[in-house]
Copies of this chain bind each other. A is one copy, B any other.
Amino acid sequence: MNKTEPRTLPGFMELMPNEQILFNQMKEKIEKIYKNFGFLPLDTPILELSEVLLAKAGGETEKQIYRFEKGDTDISMRFDLTVPLAKYVAKNYGNLSFPFRRYQIGKVYRGERAQKGRFREFYQCDIDIIGDGELSIINDAELPSVIYNVFKELGFDDFTICINNRKILNGLFESLEQKENATEILRIIDKIEKIGKKAVIEELEKNQVSKESINKIMNFIEIEGTTDEKIQKLQELNIKNETFQLGLNELIKVIKYVRTFGIPEENFKVDLTIARGLDYYTGTVYETFLNQYREIGSICSGGRYENLAEFYTDKKLPGVGISIGLTRLFYKLNEMNLIKTNKKSVAEVLIVPMIEDLTMPITIANDLRQQGINTEIFLNDKKLKVKMKYADKLEIPFVIVVGEDEINSGIVKVKDMITGNEKECQIQNIVHLIRLIEKS
């Protein structure tokens, strides 16, 4: 028979089982924290009507969409979890309770140019809080608390949640009579991390921003100091603009409550340079960085938006949300060997029968499984060495060999595959022994 070469599309992550275990642990930890904050689960389809999914899209986004016809239906694959959320909330408005707090963890699709570390299929882990008409600013302070707890749960300590407010930036530009150029100026400022201060000034000059305005902008984005010092300096700028003052008051309140939510000073800061995209966010914005690995880029971003679903409904639905691009994050952390884990295997115990009648090995496995200990029995007829190698390769922590001697004596040896130590124990006490070793 002619064989087809088994291969996977470029840009599609497909992990080996030992990596998949780590990936799933990260996903489960994120989900655990999302639930800990009482967010409701949602699981919208991966396919949507193109007309619905692309009601808002355009330009670059639309080019990347996987779009096709099936019968008479024009279908697209979702490229994020926000548009499906907007559709969902608009569609089910009457049946939802507000504020509507939902999490969704799922795959999204973008037909980007394939390159290393860029994925066409990737997981997003989103939470959003949607208000009906209004949404308290305290929600903007709760989300950093979710971010903080997620990355602590993932085993990180040295990370910073950067917080800003788009109204402060917009108000500044209004006060400089640069409102029309705001989007363009923001786009340029956003690049300061990448291209540096000098290049930013040059780009601003090219855009006909006056020397005086550039000075004020640079003074603004270069405000330094502790969080409280930054806020004080912002107040001292004494900018007579309503939007600016509104944004500053929001920021002050968010910072106050971020502290109440228990985030340590070292894990957040006010960063006046972050703008997050160009016109979607309207208030608080977030980016999160691993301080020792800034090159990874922001690992969790989001912010406040005025109106989630204006393309589907007249209802005003303000929201605030964050998103973790898990596939890329996993890829980077895995590449840099930074994933923290306790368990590297699914099975905690491998039962290795060295006897023809499998009654006793199976009975032992039944017992372990019933006690909630993940257990595998090596059922194929192989030499002991092969079976031990299997346990080793799967990094299963405990192996129990069951042969004639063990059945006759009722005593087995529980081998700890990491230390190599063996402990004898009676068959009925295996569960107890494994629990003991795991605790120690």
The answer to whether A261 touches B362 (Cβ under 8 A) is yes
> Are the CB atoms of B36 and A21 closer together than 8 Å?
no
Query: Does A210 reach chain B (CB closer than 8 Å)?
Result: no
Q: Which of A305-325 contact B (CB under 8 A)?
A: 309-314
Complex Cα distance A378/B111, Å?
Answer: 40
Query: What 1/0 flags go to A27-70 for Cβ under 8 Å of B?
Result: 00000000111111111111111011001000000000011111
Q: Flag A359-392 by CB within 8 Å of B: 1 or 0 each.
A: 1001100100100101111111100000000100
Interface residues on A, range: 35 or more
CB within 8 Å for A312 and B4 given contacts A97-B390, A363-B260: yes
Residues of B within 8 A of A409 (CB): none
B9 touches A46 (CB 8 A): no
Nearest Cβ in chain B — how far from A260, in angstroms?
5
CB atoms of B369 and A149 under 8 A apart: yes
Contacts of A69 in B (CB 8 A): 68
Q: By the criterion CB–CB under 8 Å, are B20 and A40 in contact?
A: yes
Please tell me how many copies of the chain the complex holds.
2
Report which residue of A4, A6, A75, A88 has the largest number of chain B beta carbons within 10 angstroms of its beta carbon: A6
A40 touches B52 (CB 8 A): no
What are some 9 contacts across the A-B interface (CB < 8 A)? Answer: A1-B310, A3-B313, A7-B52, A21-B40, A37-B369, A38-B350, A134-B380, A136-B380, A260-B362
Check if A92 is an interface residue, CB within 8 A of chain B: yes
User: What is the chain B residue whose CB lies nearest that of A394?
Assistant: B97
Stretch of A10-18, A270-278, A419-427 that contacts chain B: A10-18
Chain B residues positioned under 8 Å from A71 (CB to CB): 111
Q: Tell me if A331 is interfacial: C-beta within 8 Å of chain B.
A: no
- Please tell me which one of the listed residues B44, B88, B120, B379 contacts residue A99 in the complex, with CB atoms under 8 A apart: B379
Q: Mark A290-316, 1 if CB is under 8 A from B, else 0.
A: 000000000000000000011111100
Q: How far apart sit A171 and B269, CA to CA, in the bound complex (Å)?
A: 74
Q: Which residues of B contact A41 (CB under 8 A)?
A: 17, 20-21, 24, 346
- List 6 tightest A-B contacts by C-beta distance, closest first: A38-B376, A68-B68, A38-B347, A12-B45, A17-B40, A6-B312
Flag if B260 contacts A359 (CB, 8 Å).
yes
| Chain B residues whose CB sits within 8 angstroms of the CB of A195 once the complex forms | none
Q: Distance in Å from the Cβ of A292 to the closest Cβ of chain B?
A: 26
Query: Contacts A95-B16, A121-B46; is A376 near B37 (CB within 8 Å)?
Result: yes
With most chain B CB atoms within 10 A of its CB, the pick from A44, A45, A55, A314 is A45
Residue of B43, B46, B310, B366 near A15 (CB, 8 A) is B43
Give the complex CA separation of A45 and B67 in angstroms.
17
Interface string of A63-90 (1 = CB under 8 A from B): 0001111110101000000000011101
A74 to nearest B CB, angstroms? 11
Q: Write out the residue numbers on chain B whose beta carbons fall within 8 Å of the beta carbon of A39.
A: 346
A179 interfacial by beta-carbon distance below 8 Å: no
A17 to B95, alpha carbons, bound, how many Å? 10
Which listed residue (B42, B66, B73, B375) contacts A36, Cβ 8 A? B375
**Interchain CB contact under 8 A, B17 and A311:** no
Cβ contact within 8 Å between B346 and A38:
yes
Closest B residue to A350 using CB positions: B38
B261 touches A107 (CB 8 A): no
Cα distance, A142 to B312, chains bound together (Å): 51
Task: Give Cα distance in the complex from A90 to B8, angstroms.
Answer: 11
